[in-house]
Structure 1
Amino acid sequence: MTESTAAIPADSSPAPAPLRFAVMGAGAVGCYFGALLARAGHSVTLIGRPAHVQAVQQHGLRLQTAVLDVQVPMSASTEASAVQGADVVLFCVKSSDTEDAARQMRPHLAPGALVLTLQNGVDNDERVRAVLHAGTPVAAAVVYVATAMGGPGHVVHHGRGELVIAPSARSDEVARQLAAAGIPTQISDNVRGALWAKLVLNSAYNALSALSKQPYGPLVQVPGVTRVIDDIVAECLAVAAADGITIPGDVQAAVRGIATTMPGQFSSTAQDLARGKPTEIDHLNGYVVQRGAALGVPTPLNHALQVLVKLAEMKGAAP
């Protein structure tokens, strides 16, 4: 399919009325975008863990960027029922929690509320759609942002911050609101390919960053690492081709560029392991392995990385 991608300029039209946003799974990604939306005048409710929610309720969310360090007042809750009344839900839970979180919020969604899946992996929108009531609009979003939690109620932004979202009945409206809030947003009819492009990036760097406990810049300076990354990417691209996926842009250039554009960034997998939390490796390298097995494409490097991260998870969970 020929890709069609339309950028939504921030100043293309007068600002429409504010929307009500809920962030289901208020980790670093959801908190960053939620903070920008709240600063732009939208009603935002973060749904997350108790310590984080308590900090936001007491002090607001601390948003720290290269040019800002501000407290952003907004609502916060530990309950999925807080999605009630939202026009848009930014669905930001870990991929392993997708079905459970969707079931929790299903009874509380307003009719016509758009659910945007801002997650790693390539099939979360399909998994959410299968759980929610028939007809609930769900659109996949590809997230390009480097963020981390600095503690409860504190999100730190390291770079980028754009979205690519799939078409839906409300995508144009929501994209304009996001762009007006300082979130560069595009609508693309090849979001699946864009999700795969990000999957390739994640598969190339996430496990290596986690296992070595190194950010991207120093990681690629180690002799032999770039060859390993090239071989990981080759496996991913072979699986994508066998699956009929058209990946937009120059994937190889994007992979090389990560280490220079975000040299100090640790992968989300590295952050999870450092906190002793389960990772999303089964939905990153593990997804490549799964599809490769189904399509008859060998993926030994991706399989090895998946297993090594699973072993590291066991070590982190040991008493």
Structure 2
Amino acid sequence: MSRQATSEPILIWGAGAIGGTVGATLKRAGRDVTFVDIVGEHVAAIRDPARGLAITGPVDPMTVTAPAFTPAELTGTWKRIFLAVKAHHTAEATRALRPHLAPDGYVLSLQNGLCEPIIAGIVGPERTVGAFINFGADWIGPGEIHYGNRAAFVVGELDGKTTPRLEALLADVRLFEPDAIITDDVGSYLWGKLAYGSLLFAQGVGQLGIADCLARPELLPLWRGLATEVLSVARAEGVTPRGFNGFDPAAFQPGSSEAAARASVAAMVAFNRPNAKTHSGIWRDLAVRKRRTEVDVQLAPVAALGARHGIPCPKLAALVAMIHEIEDGKRAMTDDNLDELVRA
């Protein structure tokens, strides 16, 4: 791999929890990083030498200053654009960044959900690279992001090939997460994250943190029901999801034992228990930021695919409906909501 490929400038589109944390680390390491964000106060803080972008928390605190712009201010083109907006803003953001993407460049999706096909439909599959991420971070306010825990980081070409650009990307990603890897099937990780994510969406409707919520023994039927529905749809789609950070897809496949599921849940609790990020981003969207979640581009499409395959997804449907009620101010966020989902 060439030094030129490794040091190619990077445009971070979406300087929130994910993009801000990754971008700050790469900037500190000497990479040429520019940020784009729609929050003007955040942009102003990042480029202000007296303030900068502060990454707080126990993992890797730092403060960096970097070029930062709102989309309307941005000029120029980049060969590497890291997209880190919420999944439901993917199409809008990809159309906005397209004029800034070099003809021989690519967009890397640092997002949850199946965003790569959306990006590929706008800029082309040959200009799209996939990623699976699971580290924990939260946007606190303009110029501040809390980095709560390290976790899996995987990158892959959509066609499964290991290319020079992917190897160069991995070298940069490892500046942030030394254990990052390349995969020949990024979709298997993304579907695994959807199954695990269904548990985080459920945690988001109550008050307990991730570890405490997963550890409630009476909720094991809910965890099994949600994950099994997602994995059943994945199997119908011809995907074999992969596990990470305690989540074992084999423990939630149709016909798997209760003991296997309990062991995987215990492993997830053990992984999440020490983390400074105690609650999911879904919970923060509902409880703190009072905004729409990503449920309509993550769980709702899985339920729709299930219907197409003749696979009932009652737990997912009930959870999606419950989150909509919370978003609309028609339901309070209480742990009783999870007991209701068990009975769904």
TM-score (norm 2): 0.81
Aligned twin of 1:241: 235
Deviation digits for residues 269-308 of structure 1, max 9, x if unmatched?
Answer: 1111121111001122212211101111000000000000
Change (3 A) 1:238 1:287: same
Runs of at least 4 residues of structure 1 off by over 4 A?
A: 12-17, 253-256
Deviation digits for residues 191-215 of structure 1, max 9, x if unmatched?
Answer: 1111000110101222x22110221
| Number of equivalences | 303
Tell me the percent identity: 28
One-letter amino acid matched to 2:208: Q
Aligned twin of 2:198: 203
Q: C-alpha separation between the residues in 2 aligned to 1:93 and 1:83?
A: 19
Query: SS of the counterpart of 1:211?
Result: coil
Residue 38 (structure 1) shift: 0.6
Q: C-alpha separation between the residues in 2 aligned to 1:15 and 1:180?
A: 16
Q: C-alpha separation between the residues in 1 aligned to 2:225 and 2:199?
A: 9
Q: Root-mean-square deviation (CA), in Å? A: 2.4
Matched, 1:52 2:47: no
Aligned twin of 1:265: 278
1:3-42, aligned counterparts within 5 Å? Answer: 18-42=7-31
Task: Check whether the contact 1:205–1:229 (CA below 8 A) recurs between aligned residues.
Answer: no
Which of 111, 118, 140 is the equivalent residue of 2:103? 111
Instruction: Structure 1: give runs of 5+ residues left out of the alignment.
Output: 1-11
Task: Check whether the contact 1:24–1:80 (CA below 8 A) recurs between aligned residues.
Answer: no
Residue 151 (structure 1) shift: 1.6
Change (3 A) 1:82 1:316: farther
One-letter amino acid matched to 2:147: H
Aligned twin of 2:136: 146
Q: C-alpha separation between the residues in 2 aligned to 1:136 and 1:238?
A: 30
Q: C-alpha separation between the residues in 1 aligned to 2:80 and 2:100?
A: 13
Aligned twin of 2:116: 125
Instruction: Structure 2: give runs of 5+ residues left out of the alignment.
Output: 252-262, 332-344
Matched, 1:61 2:56: no
One-letter amino acid matched to 2:284: Q
Q: C-alpha separation between the residues in 2 aligned to 1:314 and 1:288?
A: 22
TM-score (norm 1): 0.87
Task: Check whether the contact 1:15–1:180 (CA below 8 A) recurs between aligned residues.
Answer: no
Q: C-alpha separation between the residues in 2 aligned to 1:112 and 1:73?
A: 28
Query: SS of the counterpart of 1:304?
Result: helix
Task: Check whether the contact 2:215–2:266 (CA below 8 A) recurs between aligned residues.
Answer: no
Residue 255 (structure 1) shift: 5.0
Change (3 A) 1:196 1:17: closer
Task: Check whether the contact 2:153–2:177 (CA below 8 A) recurs between aligned residues.
Answer: no
Task: Check whether the contact 1:216–1:258 (CA below 8 A) recurs between aligned residues.
Answer: no
Residue 82 (structure 1) shift: 3.4
One-letter amino acid matched to 1:54: A
